[in-house]
Every structure is written in C-alpha cells, then in structure tokens.
Structure 1
Amino acid sequence: MNNLNTLQLFRGIGRYGVLIALLLLILFGWLRYENFLGSFNVLTVLRYNSMFALVALGMCFVIITGGIDLSVGSTAALGSVVAAMLSPYGLVPGLLGGLLAGLVVGAINAFVITRLNILPFIATLATMLAASGCALLLAGNQSVSVSYDTAFIELGQGDVLGFPAPAWIALIAYLAGSVVLNFTSFGRTVLSIGGNEDATRLMGLPANRVKASVYMASGALAGLAGVILAAQFGAGQPIEGVGWELFAIASVVVGGTLLTGGVGSVGTTLVGVLLLGLIFNILNFENGLGWISLSAYWQSVIRGALLLVVVAVQAKLASRTEDAHP
C-alpha cells in the first residue's frame, strides 16, 4: 500500500508541479511588482512568448516519440527571412512562404530519420546548420525588412478582440495539438512509438509515417514561429533563433514530458513555456527595481540550470516509480 501511495504521489508531482510553480510565480510577481498583472505586461508576455510556444508544441510531439529536433531555431530564422521577402505580396504569401520553408526542413528531417535511419540528434543537427546557412544566404547576411504596406505585420503586432494575434495563433495550435494527442489514433501512435517503437510496428501501426508527420509538423510550427518573428519585429532575422531549441526542450521537459519518450502532455508544455517566460519577465522587473542587475545572458544560464534540475528530478522520480513496482 505504501508503494502504491508513493507512486501516486510522484505521478501527481510530475503532472501538477509545473502548474503549482507557475501559480506561485504569478502570486510572487503580483505581490512584489506594481503592474505585474497589468494588461500591458500580461499581453506583452503572451505576444512575445507565442513564438516559443509554437516551437515547443512541435518539440513536445517529437520528444514524446523519443526523438529530438535541434533544427527548430534555425528553421524559425529561415521562416522569418522567407516571410519577410514575401511580405510585399501580402499577408497570405508571407504566411504560406514561412510555413512552407519550415515544412521543407521538417520533411528533410523526416526523410533522413525514417528512411535513412539516421539518429534524430545527428539528422537535426545537420539540418540546423543547413537551415542557418540558407537563411544567411537568402538574407545576404543582414536583416530583411518587412513591408508595412500590406497587412502582414498584423500577424505579429495586431490584436483580435483585445488579445494579441500571435497568442490566438498559439492557443488554437495548442487546442488542436491537445485534441490530436489525446483523442485520435495518431496521438495514441505517437505515445506508443515513444514507449516501444518496435512493439508499435509489430502491432501493425504506421510508426514511420506517424514519426515522419511529427517532424514535418515540428518544422512547420517552427516556420510559423518565424513568420510571427518577422511580423512582430518588422524584419526577417537570419541570426535569430539561437538557443530556441533549448528553450523548447526545457519547456517540454519542465512540463513533465519524459526525454525518453512515451509520456507527455500538450497542456503542461504550454504551462512550461509560460513558466520560463515569467521567470525572465520577473528578472526584467528586478532589474527595473535596481536590486539586481542581470544581463540577458543570465537567461541562458537560468534556462540551462532549470533544465538540468528538472531532468535530474525526472530521473529520481523514475527510479522511485520503479521501486514502487518491485
């Protein structure tokens, strides 16, 4: 009985711990900083972090299959450049161009991983370098200004019903992702691949096709994040996206998805994105108060430390879970 209670406790920590941490962080910010929950700060956080949320959503599905996608940051940069170059033709061409650029990178990843049987780490590392090079070549090693004569910038700077347009896009994507993962055969196959890919094939499930679709979706979502990047900041930025893959991995893992695959949640991934986003938002408020003075580089330090801690906790919980089931 004690073992069963221990198992349930650890499962509860893994599922709700990140949500509790987010709520405590919001409470801390509300009590400490003026206007922390003001509409300007809240909407700014949502608008900015929508890009990372989209990248993290694709990464969530990839990690659940037991894989990894290191190319998402470079893919977003490439998508931003392509979208900016097509923005003079209007919102739709810019949007579709960035999406297509990401989809192409995702398709290459899918082919190399599922057909050539290259490890995801190696395959996506190669496409990360290739996508970064393509972005620099297309942009001529400089930022590409978007057109302000079309409605393209509304994708990043516009509001719909008083809510940032990028946040609407991310919210719709997460709702769709949650439905797919929890209520479709595709989602069940994704979870099965992460649990045991060989057994998934023996059951007659289309493991390769589903895994390929996951990497293509990850690329497309990264391309969409690049479109929002260009529209939000007014330029396609070929050197942007550095470290985005680590932010996405950290958000997914903090959200309780196991790096070994087979277990994961779209909803808690979104909570992980918001948690990391608020940590950096609080650092900005602290800088403003003058109590501390931390540069933006500390974000990477904190992100890496948090990822290390969460992975260590996951390993400990997994060990305790095994002990609870002798």
Structure 2
Amino acid sequence: MNLYVYIHIPFCYKKCPYCSFISYEKSISTKHLYLKALVKEIESFFLKNNSYKIETIYFGGGTPSLLKPEELVLILNTIKKYHISKACEITIEVNPNNATKNYLQKLKEIGFTRISLGIQSFNNQKLQFLQRLHNAQESFRAIENTIELFDNVSIDLIYGFENFNILQEDLNNAVLFPLKHISAYILSIEKGTLFYKQKVYLQEENVEKQFLYLIKFLKKHNINQYEISNFAKKGFESKHNQAYWQNYDYIGFGLSASSHINSVRYKNTDNLDDYINKVLSDKSPVVYKERLNIDKQIKEAFVIGLRTIKGININNFNQRYNCNIEEIFKKELSKHYELKTLKKVRGSIKIANPKKLLISNYILSDFI
C-alpha cells in the first residue's frame, strides 16, 4: 500500500499575523527535545507498519528550514530505513531568509527533490503589512538560488487585500523565473490570529477580481490551475497535495499532525510539552481518533475531490466506494446543476466555472 508522509516542524522565527497553524518561536532546548520525540514517533509507527511504500515526504510548519541539515538528515534517515518509492517526492518549505546557496546545496545532497519557497510577495510594502522577515530583494535572491539547484520549485503567494496593481506586479515577477508550481492563497482572517484581533477585513469584489485575473494570467504562461489555490506546469502538480484531495492514506508526524489511515482519522495533541512528554514516555500523542463509516467516507471523498479542477470521475468514484454517487446525492446535484454551480462533463462532476470556486465552501456544505 502507498503512504504519504507529513512532518510538522512547529518552530518559527516569529509568528505571522495571519497564521492559524500551531507554531512556536524558536527555542534551542525545546527544539532538541521535539526532534528527539519526532524521530521516536516515526520509528514507533514504522516498526508496527512496515509494509507501506512511501510516495511522498513533506516537511511543513512552522518553518522547517530553521532546522540544520544534520537535523533534517536524522529525520529523513529514520524514514528511509523503510520502503521509499524510487520516485518519492520529498518537499521542504523554505523561508527566503534561509535560501542560501550553501543551505540549498545541503538540502539537495540530503535528498530533497522539491522546494516550496514562502515568498508571499515581491512588494516591500505588502511584505511589511504581512510582517514577513524578508524583503523583495531577498524574495528574488531566494528564487534565483533555488532554481540553480532544483528543477521542481514552488512559491507561495498571498493576495486579496492589496491594490490590484500589486498583484499584477507579483505575478509579473513570478513568471520571470522557470517556476513549476505556484500556490496562491487569499488572505484568510481566522479566529485566533493577530489580523483577526485587529479586525482586518477583505473586500469581496476585490478578491473575486484578483482571483479571476490570477487564473487567466497564469494560464497564459502554461501554469494551470488544478485545485482552488494551486497552479502548476504540466507534470509538476504536487503529488503530496493530490494525495489529500484523492483521499489516499497519509500519516502526519509531529505536533498537531493529522493522519488518515484505513478509514480512521487521527490527530496529535497541539500542546508542545504534552507531545514531547507523551512520546518520550512511550505514550501515544494521539488525542482524537475516529473511524469513518462508509457514508462519511463517501461524503468526505466527494467534497475533497470537488476542490480540484478535474472534479469527480463518476465511474472511478463508484468503483472505489462501491456506490452510485448520482443516486446518493440526487437531490443536491439536481439543485446545483439548476443553479449552475456544478456541471457534469464527460462523466465527471465539477464546479461549473472559476468564479464559482470562490463560493466552493457554500456549494460543498450541501454534500456534508
């Protein structure tokens, strides 16, 4: 069986005001204990589950590039003791400040095959608003250094709140480079973040205009949308992210990491001390576990699949879950076909057009 692995590194130089992920500012002593626990959690899992073939490994955070090369080697070597696919996609998120030629060269030697750079913007005013630690010049330098060593390079951009001209500037700068993948996220103001406390608001008409422009612009440069927030050149779609959207088995290691294996969902504690203490005391860090019945599996797989541009292939879905999806969701599908929010094309159900992707949460809520 194939397995997709996520490694959570929860440490940051400084928490961004829009970030809702579990992360902590860097502490050397805590980091050492965390890595010790992380390696132990990985070993414990694979000693009991050694029949999987690992297809992807993804280091996210936080800021995984805070780790030294020797720390990353320790984690990777722990996983590599087991069966890794020859074509395994190994990704790490890298902060532009860390993207030096020396560090990137070490990442390549270690075995990373894909780099995701947290650029966010090429505009200094926008970067300051987002309270990023790098500037526009460092954004450019980070990409230049990375594409010298890696073919498969992705960048993150954030948009939706700025002047339209700034988005145009960001996109024009992005396509100066032979990037294979761009993740473009609308700024999300989530509860618990600094921006939420500061009551930062987005104007919906600006978001829609920018979203549609983004899709059209990148398509002209052969960087095509394959999921609501993700764009890639052909053959460079993120294998790891696609595993989530296709509802494949994945395992998350580390603080607050989630897993989905054999129709069971797990979630680790999001308390750092609790995670370290439990794992180092030979206890499970899992604080939530749910076995999904077939009805819930079908609903979740359908909703997740509709986030992709390809949508749901009806025959493939019915065979995989031994069901008739058009019968199960007869009422809901009829409603959304009539509203022209969904469409059926060549045996697939998909969101009707790019504009409707912006209200996908509203559409998909009918199927949960």
- TM-score category (smaller protein): under 0.3
For CA contacts below 8 A with separation 6 or more, give which structure has more relative contact order. Answer: 1
Structure with a larger share of its residues in helix: 1
Per the normalisation by structure 2, the TM-score is 0.21
Per the normalisation by structure 1, the TM-score is 0.23
Structure with a larger share of its residues in strand: 2
